[in-house]
Amino acid sequence: VPSPYVLLIEGAPDPLAAKPAIGMLRYRRRDVAALLDPKHAGSTAEAVLGIGGDVPVVASLDDVRAGGVVIGTAPGGGRLDPALRRSVRDALARGLEVVNGLHELVGDDPELRALAARTGAPVRDLRRPPARLALSENRARHAPCFRIHTVGTDGCVGKMTVALELTAALAREGVDARFLATGQTGMLISGGGVAVDAIPADFVAGAIEAEVLARRDAEVLVIEGQGSLAHPQFSAVTLGLLHGCAPDALVLCGDATRTGYRGCDGTPPSLDALVELYVRMASLIHPARAIAVALRTAGLDDAGARRALADATARTGLPAADALRFGCAPLVAAARAARGR
């Protein structure tokens, strides 16, 4: 692996839009050389994104030694904007690997592809659908692994993070727990999985089924969720994933301070309504139950965060945790109890 990487974060309207960069800084920090964003050059990752300590922000690839670049933003719709394109071109011209999680594929762009071919720069498009697509055969439900799926109230509420934290916590207790990435950031971090939102809709369930079956011998498989069943933009992705992975247990992820959808008109149903909705829709394929709620409480003080978690428990009857803030012991206990049944 030609690490360390420079993370391109130009044009991110807010830290949440820099999800891939934040994921790399949280879980693969040793592989990060710098962030690139002329607007913040001279600053640090911590100052700009609230994570990453003194990882420097640079103005140009001239200012850092790197093996490759990673597109660190994840704008809705996934287009390569002009500033990003300039940096990608610059990286390819230097022969550096480009890792891209946007819907717009670098390897399919005539100019960028030609440039990569000329310099030999490797291109990794995380959202390129697998070459072999197949319809689901409704088989994940028979896999022996215990399947926990993190589902959500919206995008960017911590479904990937909760899945990673829970996997790591279970592994620390000696469980053969594995994380299954279903989006570009999870793939960056884990090195495997599939970006379900870029797959032709007919094949979403089949694509995740194949990934589950490839890990069928795990004791616990923790499958990252996407979008929300009630989300006007992403519900197709959410339901195909839910049905394709046939979970035994669901963890509902939400954000304690968000009211409407992020970047889209509309408001999610309440936590208890969503718990019931996910259980019902999942159980059309395979009996599932909700085991916990995981809340993002950033923006609240500790007392407010504890109150939000208690409220979530009161509303849903489920244990609630903010895995990053207070640890995920309640999630681990819930997973163990559900699996023990």
The contact set with its own copies (CB under 8 A) reads: 76-78, 103, 129, 133-138, 196-202, 204-206, 229-230, 232-241, 243-244, 264-266, 269, 281, 284-285
- Judged by beta carbon, residue 60 or residue 235, the one nearer its own copies is 235
- Judged by beta carbon, residue 185 or residue 238, the one nearer its own copies is 238
Closest contact distance (angstroms) between CB of 282 and its own copies is 11
Closest contact distance (angstroms) between CB of 331 and its own copies is 27
- Note whether 11 and 78 are within 8 A (CB): no
Closest contact distance (angstroms) between CB of 314 and its own copies is 24
Q: What distance in Å separates the CA atoms of residue 283 and residue 170, rounded to the nearest whole number?
A: 25
- Judged by beta carbon, residue 4 or residue 193, the one nearer its own copies is 193
Closest contact distance (angstroms) between CB of 84 and its own copies is 18
Q: What distance in Å separates the CA atoms of residue 107 and residue 87, rounded to the nearest whole number?
A: 15
Closest contact distance (angstroms) between CB of 301 and its own copies is 33
Closest contact distance (angstroms) between CB of 85 and its own copies is 18
Is the peptide bond prior to 4 cis by the omega test (within 30 degrees of 0)? yes
Find how far residue 261's CA is from the centre of its chain: 17
Q: What distance in Å separates the CA atoms of residue 212 and residue 179, rounded to the nearest whole number?
A: 10
CA angle at 115 for the pair 63 and 31, rounded to the nearest 5°? 40
Which among 26, 27, 24 is positioned nearest to 5, based on CA atoms? Answer: 24
Within a 10 A sphere around the Cβ of 213, how many other Cβ atoms?
Answer: 14
* Burial class (CB within 10 angstroms; exposed 0-12, middle 13-18, buried 19+) of 313: middle
Tokens of 101: 């999680």
- Judged by beta carbon, residue 77 or residue 82, the one nearer its own copies is 77
Which among 249, 247, 283 is positioned nearest to 140, based on CA atoms? Answer: 247
The H or E element containing residue 294 is strand 289-296
Closest contact distance (angstroms) between CB of 1 and its own copies is 28
Tokens of 144: 């022996």
- Judged by beta carbon, residue 274 or residue 335, the one nearer its own copies is 274
Within a 10 A sphere around the Cβ of 284, how many other Cβ atoms?
Answer: 11
Q: What distance in Å separates the CA atoms of residue 81 and residue 75, rounded to the nearest whole number?
A: 10
Closest contact distance (angstroms) between CB of 213 and its own copies is 14
- Note whether 162 and 322 are within 8 A (CB): no
- Judged by beta carbon, residue 153 or residue 297, the one nearer its own copies is 153
Closest contact distance (angstroms) between CB of 249 and its own copies is 19
- Judged by beta carbon, residue 42 or residue 232, the one nearer its own copies is 232
Which among 85, 131, 76 is positioned nearest to 106, based on CA atoms? Answer: 85
Tokens of 22: 């934040």
- Judged by beta carbon, residue 256 or residue 285, the one nearer its own copies is 285
- Judged by beta carbon, residue 6 or residue 102, the one nearer its own copies is 102
Q: What distance in Å separates the CA atoms of residue 185 and residue 154, rounded to the nearest whole number?
A: 16
